[in-house]
Chains A and B, each alone.
Chain A
Amino acid sequence: MKVTLEILRYDPATDKAPHWESYEADVDPMDRVLDALHHVKWYTDGTLAFRRSCAHAVCGSDAMVINGENRLACQLLIKDASPEKPIKVEPIRGLAVEKDLIVDMEPFFDSYRSILPYLMHDGPEPDKEIYQSPEDRERFDDTTKCILCACCTTSCPIYWGSGSYVGPAAIVNAHRFIFDSRDDHADERLAILAEKSGVFRCRTAFNCTEACPREIKVTQAIQEVKREILYRSL
């Protein structure tokens, strides 16, 4: 079937402002929006720039705004993208556009790194696994699924309005360690997230949860971190 893609294009080196361009692509309803973008890039206009790698929603490269919602282009099928109308594709919001659909991911990864996203286990180096019950393992299972695609963070109105907010993805990854029974330094992360740039900026808009391509309960994770900060301060 023939679909029309309307893509917001912008090369800061040559363009005064972003502008929409329209392309036709011949695709199957079961194809991914990424396939349609490839069709455009490979056969119509090679100057179109976007990131992609795995093409099945595990690497997190191709987050973009499709028909107004944050999606992975490789996870949304054409048939589900209202193909009877032009499919509108824009870069994710809140991060500077480098070119077309490519944004500067550094501020996003800076936030991620700021919450100490690694296991800190005290005591002597064990020569066997640190034991963990299936129940303790289950406690943080949901937040281990994060692929750092930035769909959640760049759907958050607070994040758009304030460059200093760490954003949902960083909190999700903090949650993953705060609630890991093997980690001994939750207090350090909670202290970071109790600051002005931390979890209490969240206004529970739930955009993040709706945007997550891994179906992580992002807002719930943020609430659990908020609660943990409050409990520990009592």
Chain B
Amino acid sequence: MAHVHTFDTIIVGAGGAGLRAAIEVAGHGKTAVISKLYPTRSHTGAAQGGVCAALANVEEDSWEWHAFDTVKGGDFLSDQPAVDVMCREAADSIIELENFGLPFNRTPEGRIDQRRFGGHTRNHGEAPVKRACYAADRTGHMILQTLYQKSIKEGVEFFNEFHVLDVLFADGGECAGVVAYELATGELHTFRAKATVFATGGFGKMWKISSNAHTLTGDGPGALYRRGIPMQDMEFFQFHPTGIYKIGILLSEAARGEGGILRNSENERFMERYAPTIKDLAPRDMVSRSIYLEVREGRGIGADKDGVYLDLTHLPPEQIDAKLPDITDFVRTYLGVEPKTEMIPIQPTAHYAMGGIPTDVDGRVLRDAGGTVVPGLYAAGECACVSVHGANRLGTNSLLDLVVFGRRAGKAARAFAAEAALVDVPDEPEARTAEMLASIKAGKGGEKVAAIRDDLQVDMQERAGVFRTGELLAGMQEKLAELHERYAGIQIDDTSERWNTDLMEAVELGFLLDLADCVVESGLKRTESRGAHARDDFQQRDDANFLKHTLAYRPDSGHVPRLEYKPVELGRYEPVERKY
């Protein structure tokens, strides 16, 4: 039975960016948020340390310094006009969150308190600056709860546990809506809309050691990629330095912002050698590489000697309880280690996609290197690539990205929906999705989804992780060919209609495989080292050839994407060597 819903604006995903967009659109035409999870389950809630803005509440700061840090942190791949937008609108966006009800920590004067974070400096790199606004180490939780609460207040309509699997386009190329699978019933729904905003988050479940939720499988970007939208800068994926050893659960950079330090097996504070000025508060790509180099030199710790220690033992216990309560609880729960008296074993963990759906600063999705706008289609948050984070995102800039560009995408979608006419959806809009699901359910090839996913994660960790080489990436590309072949032979146990999470895990794996193709091919062709993309065989940044964004398109045949490039938009800051 066909279910067709018609809205002015639909928003896919109910994390920070989706909810922020929804709040902007609420009350202006018929609006719905469609999410595969209950909104409060979204992974924005797992963000810990802070959201930055140059409020200058505790010390001198300026949005231009923030912009410089973001561009330098991104190894000069960021589009500088977009960075200016984000940093200029930061203060207002944070104040607005506070006004919505967000319970930030406070200064003695009652203002929003701020603390240090990696890569954020005063006056172009002189010293760390207190720019991160925070609520203990559960800032993301507070943002997610506050935005959900505000969206209840604004009367936003939700379709919870509806999994969007396809995007619809009219003959003229305009976005016409989406197709979603209702988990409770197994029925397909067509959502027609004038404006469609994607805010589906990242795809960090491609790697074995990951801070990401099980549900972060890149469904939004994956669905768009299959419909011909390119994926931008997919080779740049951030490994956060401090994941819990072997498990990957995030331990916020706030631990180092509050004074924590990293030590190798010889008890040495090794970051003093790699980043003499800001040491343990260097950007994440540099710290993760430094950890790998220590491990390679034989100074690693842990069962496989592939981690290092995060040391908080010198911090006052009351400071740990007040400022880092959650992460220290994670350490106690999952490692049985007491952070007040023992050092914490950590290792880099797959964390954040700098790349994704190409957009402009209003969240409008761009379909090619020439910047052609797809009418009616928007994206914001981790699934999008504006690009503000360039080749490496600074800590606290992701939560800022959510609120700034969630709001801008919402505004733009609202304005578009107010003017545009509803476009026709294609005949039998659900046919392609129905066919995909039927074919998975009918599969008799005997391949297990979990086994393929395990192989993907293990191999991506080894071959497309913190350090890469042409050989490793080419090997991964061959491996992906094999995994795609095995995926064609998957067989699932559950063929029922209701709550078929077996079927959805199979679909999610398909999206992960397609996006892994983009990560690997984009990385293979970028024969330089920049930000999070570190090539052992090309160790220098190569601005002459690679000061440009990668666009990966789904190929007509085979699995290897077709690549195009577009120039980086520079601004006030000329690329220089990145030292801290």
Contact = CB atoms under 8 A, between A and B. Distances in A.
Interface of A: 11, 13-14, 30, 32, 41-43, 45-47, 49-61, 75, 77, 98-100, 102, 105, 109, 113, 117-119, 121, 125-134, 136-137, 140-141, 144-148, 177, 180, 182-183
Max chain B Cβ within 10 angstroms of own Cβ: one of A51, A54, A130, A136: A54
A49 B501 contact: yes
A30 B150 CA distance: 39
The 8 closest A-B pairs by CB, nearest first: A119-B101, A46-B493, A42-B450, A131-B110, A46-B502, A118-B153, A118-B149, A99-B499
A105 B39 CA distance: 12
Nearest to B502: A46
Nearest to B454: A42
Max chain B Cβ within 10 angstroms of own Cβ: one of A59, A100, A102, A118: A59
14 contacts: A42-B448, A50-B501, A53-B215, A55-B214, A58-B138, A59-B43, A59-B46, A77-B334, A102-B499, A109-B38, A132-B106, A141-B103, A147-B40, A148-B40
Contact of A118 (B108, B138, B150, B450): B150
A182 B100 CA distance: 10
Given A11-B498, A98-B184, A99-B499, A117 B149 contact: yes
B83 interface: no
Contacts of A98: 184, 498-499
Nearest to B244: A56
Contacts of B105: 134, 137
Interface of B: 37-38, 40-43, 45-46, 95, 98-101, 103-112, 135, 138, 141-142, 145, 149-150, 152-153, 184, 213-215, 249, 326, 330, 333-336, 448-450, 492-494, 496-502
B498 A118 contact: no
B334 to A, nearest CB: 7
Given A56-B249, A102-B499, A147-B141, A46 B103 contact: no
Nearest to A39: B450
Contacts of A126: 95, 99
A147 B103 contact: no
A137 B111 CA distance: 11
Contacts of B95: 126-129
Contacts of B492: 46
Given A127-B95, A137-B106, 5 more contacts: A54-B214, A100-B499, A105-B38, A136-B110, A144-B103
A136 B498 CA distance: 47
A117 B145 CA distance: 10
A122 to B, nearest CB: 12
Nearest to A80: B333
B42 to A, nearest CB: 8
B100 A119 contact: yes
Contact of B99 (A45, A50, A60, A121): A121
Max chain A Cβ within 10 angstroms of own Cβ: one of B99, B104, B184: B99
B213 A59 contact: yes
Given A30-B336, A59-B40, A75-B333, A130 B152 contact: no
Contact of A144 (B135, B213, B249): B135
A79 to B, nearest CB: 9
A47 B494 contact: yes
A129 B334 contact: no
Nearest to B133: A129
Contacts of A42: 448-450
A122 B448 CA distance: 57
A177 B110 CA distance: 18
A47 B111 contact: no
Contacts of B214: 52-55
A58 B110 contact: no
A3 B574 CA distance: 59
A102 B110 CA distance: 43
A11 B46 CA distance: 32
A43 B101 CA distance: 45
A96 B101 CA distance: 33
Max chain A Cβ within 10 angstroms of own Cβ: one of B109, B336, B496: B496
B304 to A, nearest CB: 15
B222 to A, nearest CB: 18
A131 B57 CA distance: 12
Contacts of B135: 144
A142 to B, nearest CB: 11
